[in-house]
Amino acid sequence: MNKKFINSTLLALLCFTQSQAQQQKNNATAASQRQQKIDQFWTDRAQIKPLEKLSVAPLSLVYTLPAKVWEEALPLGNGQLGAMVFGGVADERIQFNESTLWAGAPQDPNNPKGKTYLPRIQQLLFEGKNKEAVELADSTLMGIPKRIKPYQSLGELWLDMPHLQVEQYQRSLDLETAIQQSSYQYKGIKYTRESFISAPANAMVIQYSANKKQALDLNFSWKRAQDFACLTDPKDPSQLLLQGQIGQSGSEGEKGTKFSAIAKVFLKGGRLTNTAGRITITGADEITLLITAATDYPGLKQISYPAKKTGIDPLVSCRETMRTLAKSDYQQLKQAHIADYQHFFKRVQLDLADAEQQKWKQVPTDSLIKLTRGQQQIPSALISKFFQFGRYLLISSSRPGHMPANLQGLWAWQMDPPWNADFHTNINLQMNYWPAELTNLSELHQPLFDLTSALIPFGERTARTIYGARGWVVHHLTDAWGYTAPADGVQGIWPMGSAWLAQHPWEHYSYTGDRQFLKEQAYPIMKGAARFILDFMIQIPSDKPFAGYWTTNPSHSPENSFILPSGEVSSFTYGATMDTQIIRDLLQNYIEASTLLDNDPDFRQECQAALQKLIPTQISKETGRIMEWIEDYQETEVNHRHTSHLFGLHPSNQISIANTPDLAEAAKKTLLSRGDHGTGWSLAWKINMWNRLHDGEHSYKLLYNLISEKTLPNLFDNHPPFQIDGNFGATAAIAEMLLQSQVRDKNNNYLIELLPALSKHINKGSITGLKARGNISVNIQWSNGVLENAELIPSKNGPICISYAGKQIQVEGIKGKSIQITSQMF
């Protein structure tokens, strides 16, 4: 390699790295300035003395001061309504979300030039003329418009009380009941505020109480950054209305989604006045606030292009909810909420023994995270809490009949949140649902399937218009309105989103064995995604590596780039490794589903033929690592946050120690080169990958880095900024340290692996209620790093192959009958 080439390559890499670093710095600065601009309007006037002696329950988040910024507030939710509770005293702030409050509308963004110019773009990429291909693709394949509109905050309820000097303050979130509580003393009187968001009631419920009568005085009003009005309800003086429509403040363009919210007061004692959009309460014994919200979003099953008027009046919807709730008192609402929530949450219990358990009972959650940074070890109490917090977030942000969890789950405080708080389909949306089946929350997977089904007609239009293909496609992101075209920039030309999304309904079937679901919802999703892939793939020319094989063109390894032999930095290519691994996963799963259902034998045969023409996953002769692209290009960023070319290791099962030891060793080298740090979600993904390599110590090391470096005071994952996928990915990772079931045995049954990635730092504990593929319930107990007992409860008769410590046994399963396993059996 000549000196001139080396210098040009280094210069290109340096410029790229500096430019990327500066852009990240600019983004962080802008985000910080936006945060300061918002938060300067909210401060708690009270002087606060914390509770002198804490007693922190194992599954509670506890703090001794109110939140000062949004990332310290505590999340509540029921899948439709979300709230972030700051826990203020004299000045309280509760920020609300409604899962369907998206700007924008259904549209046809597909570039009509696409299929005309696609062959030329493919030719340019095969010829190594990447820059020309990028320029042509940018003008002919990109969506019109290139951007989607954001998910938005609903608004904020601002409350104030005349308590300016208080003591014995604490606030908490109980993960076992999904109830937030704040308490303190003022002039010898104890004040308590309890909040939850109920799925049965479809409302947030807040109760103010004191241990002295006539001690409650309260004022509140609605706030929002734009497009709203706060009004006294003319029909009911106990109700305060928030009403608006996205875009109503602007002078140009169509108006968007309409929204409404009602805050209704129920009093015991005291007096209420409601004037000019502000409610004032004086001398009350007890105050209960009920808050509900709605939009005129038509629902995923009704979205269409062109858009149809829904006829939904969100204010009418809110009033109907309030009329229903008027029949229930606070205790009835609370009991119904707890019963509904615990129906999901109580299914899994994780207990990690900790000799210092008593010590942590007096440490606030934010302090516990800070203490972790200096220890190189995570308190077991924090691991359990972090694991269950992930399950709590999924229960709170993803419920059947509502939207799936987005980049921030359900919670976003801005009008224009980071990355639009959209559905990012090149890892993030999928990662949100990794814990759903494994941690026994299978029903909560359904919103993702419903979104996927709703995307099919939009994706079919994109496939026809841009690629001249059948089937359906989505690229690296989508929204509530069915956007499936390439977005943002040429890096968005990544037509693998539908193929990856199609993995999830198959996983749901693999865990549940629900044949009706497989036939009615999973199969159409999978077949349409496979149909697009077969039409989209192109044969590699005779002068290129792997001539005659089928590949994707154009292609990206999401958000990463490489250096061409010419020294040019590029990310646009053909045949990225991740594409081939996703396609192999999809086709194998589709073939199995088609065989089970005895459907479409001719198309099944097409898929089987295509499988034989896919490029095998390659190992670099130079580095010994998994190759990220079809050619062994030099990387621009060895520690890149995406580890896309290890899709075959996780979440797929194409790479395993048992079946592909050479690829597993190459995957290990790849992970080592990527490093042990990164963004929050990136660390979560890598923990799952180390789990699959059965390296519990490395998994634990990255879990430590995630919790100590990338976890916010309220346990939200920090990209930065906040992204919820790291929470969900880490919850799945903790579970897979203890149980895996993705590998097939010699009879093609799922192999149940017990404690496959257990670290010496969590060498004693128990977990109950996990699920293995094949619809098997699993309970595990271990001590001194050794399996003591495992209980398997199968849902059907048949052989079960179980692995522990590198050895396997087979037992005969009987539906519903407990199978006891000990380490002595191996």
Q: What is the value of pTM for the model shown?
A: 0.94
Per-block mean pLDDT, blocks of 10 residues, the chain (826 long): 34 35 41 44 86 92 96 97 97 97 96 97 96 97 97 97 96 98 97 98 98 97 96 93 93 84 97 95 98 97 90 96 93 98 98 79 92 88 96 98 97 96 97 98 98 98 98 98 97 97 98 98 98 98 96 96 92 96 98 98 98 97 96 91 96 96 98 96 98 98 97 96 97 98 92 98 96 98 97 96 96 96 96
Both tokens assigned to 398? 């993803």
Domains, the chain, in order of start with CATH, read: 41-52+61-101+152-345 (2.70.98.50), 114-144+386-740 (1.50.10.10), 760-825 (2.60.40.1180)
- Strand partners for 239: 264
Nearest CA to 107 among 372, 355, 462, 354? 462
Strand 776-783 versus strand 765-772 pairing type: antiparallel
- According to the model, what pLDDT value does residue 256 have? 94
Residue 438 backbone dihedrals phi, psi, to 5 degrees: -60, -40
- According to the model, what pLDDT value does residue 252 have? 63
Residue 299 backbone dihedrals phi, psi, to 5 degrees: 105, 150
Nearest CA to 272 among 242, 222, 238, 231? 238
CA gyration radius for the chain?
27
- According to the model, what pLDDT value does residue 253 have? 66
Amino acid at 729: G
- Note the Cα 777 to chain centre separation in Å: 24
The DSSP call for residue 302 is G
Q: Respond yes or no on whether the N-terminal peptide bond of residue 720 is cis (omega within 30° of 0).
A: yes
- According to the model, what pLDDT value does residue 354 have? 77
The DSSP call for residue 619 is B
- Strand partners for 351: 766
Both tokens assigned to 685? 């993904």
CB atoms within 10 A of CB 518: 20
Which string of b and e fits 471-485 if b means at least 16 CB within 10 Å?
A: bbbbbbbbbbbbbbb
- According to the model, what pLDDT value does residue 17 have? 34
- CA dist 611 and 604 (Å) reads 11
CA dihedral of 97, 99, 102, 105, whole degrees rounded to 10: -160
- According to the model, what pLDDT value does residue 254 have? 76
Question: DSSP for 563-590?
Answer: E-TTS-EE--BS--HHHHHHHHHHHHHH
The Cα angle at residue 489 between residues 488 and 495, in degrees rounded to 5: 85
Determine contact, residues 511/593, Cβ cutoff 8 Å: no
Nearest CA to 124 among 140, 136, 106? 136
- Note the Cα 741 to chain centre separation in Å: 22
The DSSP call for residue 405 is P
Nearest CA to 221 among 231, 235, 236? 231
- CA dist 575 and 644 (Å) reads 13
Nearest CA to 572 among 587, 590, 593, 558? 558
Both tokens assigned to 647? 């899709």
- CA dist 233 and 278 (Å) reads 11
Residue 608's Cβ-count burial label (10 Å; 0-12, 13-18, 19+) is middle
The pLDDT tens digits for 229-252 are 999 999 899 999 999 999 998 766
